[in-house]
Structure 1
């Protein structure tokens, strides 16, 4: 039985700041951001968007009434959680009006956890072939104003439906994975911004990729020549490029040209949205699926998932017949085109506009947010969401 990704879509807020403008405001040569880091735009969330609403808007695009009946498992991957106890997936279950007989959980391991969700979903579907699993990777990446990580911020969500006999991509077995106790990136409970040791994190990321790709090749016999593309978790796009080039030094020229060309396609959406943590790798997959013109069904795609702390995994998928008929290219391109560019001053104002800690009641201006689903405020310490199309 084939198991894999049946549908996949993404959502990002309606505002962004140009990295060139940010560089000028920070007295930095713009090329260091656009070329050295490889980022063009940073998605900026309004106060009315959090991980739940971002994920719900992404899922709203792909979930049909038929899917609602078949989905019996919701896995929400995030490191931007809203509650220490209640899973974010329960809010999604209510907002999408899913089947009551559903298992709903939240999973965390930095940017890796959506991949854990995929592997969990495979096991569930293997035991329950009629089931579908909704996987959500949603995050808001915050490093602080005028910090070294500021240019690698972002916000957005990816939603995927896993099923038997999928329309987009089967997920192959086995994979290669590993864990190491590493303090390259972390966010303590008391902080709403992350801490990162930049160079150390890059070294670990590249080292994990090299080790896992080698382990996968030894385990399966699959090498560079068997892969149409290799996709990466992309905190910023240049990071993935460095990792890819690290295994191409002795590659055949044909393989090298193909893999580099397809990496360029896969990084497009990431470069204009920014870092969305758990959803980043799968945003790159969407970018490849929607941006390529010559990758045929049956092609094998490699995927490198990495979550600081650290857990990594390398696995592959096979594109399915007519996969192009089941993507949302026009909707995604329109969403990105409709966004509003902010001045750096306006971006800073939105960044600093956060909820007061411990507030028990507050109403938020959802009328200013064009999203269908918004975080509407807090009532008696309980988060409130609104779905405008109902």
Structure 2
């Protein structure tokens, strides 16, 4: 079987951000928790951004790198999200239309909380591996624009954005190790969103489920690949990152469960194999279905390339409710360039004070699933888009009229 995996990756991570320590102080939170959170900044969605616009903006630069013939090879589009906007119509249908993908493209939406992005990636890799067309490709997008839980301990880590991955048989970035995966799933009510406005969260239960799934999914991986050694088999690690401190705690817990490993060795292992993957999440926050993919992109951009060796990355994704997977990919030593443009885009975002953040959050509040009418505010996006996304038009939600969504492209600061 020919190799299959990640050919290209891109992201859209917003136009504005708020400093997490500013938010802690404004909300009267215990600032001593900052060290455990390990968050620096979080993206703030504007009142013209929804899950569709973020998905389109993440994928457009990636598709712009394809010629017309290559665009026709995209025969699958999967959007992983928990911010779906219709109970029947897939988010992928809007994305498909706005990106101008061929009508011969199969499309659907995946929902399993934060696991949805990796679930979509693995489904896409499996389909492309058996596709009849030799040059077949799939576009996978993990994206979310969470409804903000203001005044709670979740708020400082809630980000917004999307990560797009092109899957094909020329895996210039990373090759999927097909069949190399372990799973853990069970029913737990750590997070529920029974309506478009209710977000019920048990943080302690969620973190305990996360750690339990990491141990069990990795154990299932080892049962399928019994020659695996956690300390030796993986050159890099990427975990779902609700906040970077959760990754550090889960990594420590897993290593302790594997044997008597000295604390200093655990700390050094985290720095060596995981720290590169949390750099972008620490500046963006939790984008739910897109977060593990964002951590993977962070690894691509920051890990030191070794042209003489193929390196294995162990990937763990967890979705509340819950379902999880531990899988592995092989990094292509020739494909790592660190030039995704994400670092520049993050640096170009505008900083908001907490008063401006709250004003924007108030304006975004009515923009939830099921809203019939909404008027998007494009003013700030028009000012910021040229700096954050030079050379690529950005799609924004202009308005909703009788449940019909209308989008507009911003180019050079104008709609």
**What TM bracket, shorter-length normalisation?**
over 0.9
Deviation of 1:363 (Å): 3.5
- Are 1:181 and 1:309, in contact at CA under 8 Å, matched by a contact in 2? yes
**What TM-score results when the alignment is normalised by the length of structure 2?**
0.88
The correspondence for 1:281, drawn from 292, 313, 330, is: 292
Partners of 2:306 and 2:246 in 1: CA distance: 24
Question: Given the alignment of the two structures, is residue 114 of structure 1 paired with residue 112 of structure 2, yes or no?
Answer: no
Partners of 1:182 and 1:260 in 2: CA distance: 31
Identify the residue that residue 173 of structure 2 maps to in structure 1. Answer: 168
Identify the residue that residue 188 of structure 1 maps to in structure 2. Answer: 194
Identify the residue that residue 31 of structure 2 maps to in structure 1. Answer: 30
Partners of 1:15 and 1:374 in 2: CA distance: 14
Spell out, residue by residue over 1:12-43, the C-alpha distance to the aligned partner (whole angstroms, 9 max, x if none).
1111111111111122343413x121111111
Question: Given the alignment of the two structures, is residue 265 of structure 1 paired with residue 276 of structure 2, yes or no?
Answer: yes
Partners of 2:239 and 2:367 in 1: CA distance: 36
Partners of 2:95 and 2:367 in 1: CA distance: 24
Question: Given the alignment of the two structures, is residue 93 of structure 1 paired with residue 96 of structure 2, yes or no?
Answer: yes
Kindly report which structure 2 residues correspond to 1:179-328, keeping only aligned pairs within 5 A, or say none.
179-189=185-195, 191-220=196-225, 221-224=227-230, 225-249=232-256, 250=259, 251=261, 257-296=268-307, 297-325=309-337, 328=339
Deviates more, 1:275-284 or 1:61-70: 61-70
Question: Given the alignment of the two structures, is residue 386 of structure 1 paired with residue 404 of structure 2, yes or no?
Answer: no
Partners of 2:200 and 2:99 in 1: CA distance: 34
Distance verdict in 2 for CA 1:240–1:384, change over 3 Å? same
Partners of 1:158 and 1:70 in 2: CA distance: 20
Deviates more, 1:287-296 or 1:244-253: 244-253
Partners of 2:20 and 2:373 in 1: CA distance: 35
Kindly tell me the number of residue pairs found equivalent between the two proteins: 386
Partners of 1:61 and 1:184 in 2: CA distance: 36
Partners of 1:387 and 1:332 in 2: CA distance: 20
- Are 2:311 and 2:333, in contact at CA under 8 Å, matched by a contact in 1? no
For the residue of structure 2 that corresponds to 1:100, the secondary structure is coil
Deviation of 1:345 (Å): 1.4
- Are 1:142 and 1:150, in contact at CA under 8 Å, matched by a contact in 2? no
Kindly report which structure 2 residues correspond to 1:85-164, keeping only aligned pairs within 5 A, or say none.
85-128=88-131, 129-164=134-169
Distance verdict in 2 for CA 1:18–1:217, change over 3 Å? same
Distance verdict in 2 for CA 1:127–1:151, change over 3 Å? same
Deviates more, 1:64-73 or 1:243-252: 243-252
Identify the residue that residue 4 of structure 2 maps to in structure 1. Answer: 3
- Are 2:118 and 2:317, in contact at CA under 8 Å, matched by a contact in 1? yes
- Are 2:42 and 2:284, in contact at CA under 8 Å, matched by a contact in 1? yes
- Are 1:376 and 1:386, in contact at CA under 8 Å, matched by a contact in 2? yes
- Are 1:15 and 1:340, in contact at CA under 8 Å, matched by a contact in 2? yes
Q: Give the gaps of 5 or more residues in structure 2.
A: 386-393
Deviation of 1:302 (Å): 0.1
Deviates more, 1:288-297 or 1:215-224: 288-297
Spell out, residue by residue over 1:59-92, the C-alpha distance to the aligned partner (whole angstroms, 9 max, x if none).
0111123442110110010000111111111111
Q: Give the gaps of 5 or more residues in structure 1.
A: none
Distance verdict in 2 for CA 1:144–1:298, change over 3 Å? same
Identify the residue that residue 351 of structure 2 maps to in structure 1. Answer: 341
Cα RMSD after superposing both structures: 2.0
For the residue of structure 2 that corresponds to 1:378, the secondary structure is strand
Deviation of 1:320 (Å): 1.2
- Are 1:229 and 1:259, in contact at CA under 8 Å, matched by a contact in 2? no
**What TM-score results when the alignment is normalised by the length of structure 1?**
0.93
For the residue of structure 2 that corresponds to 1:324, the secondary structure is coil
- Are 1:302 and 1:314, in contact at CA under 8 Å, matched by a contact in 2? yes
Distance verdict in 2 for CA 1:256–1:271, change over 3 Å? closer
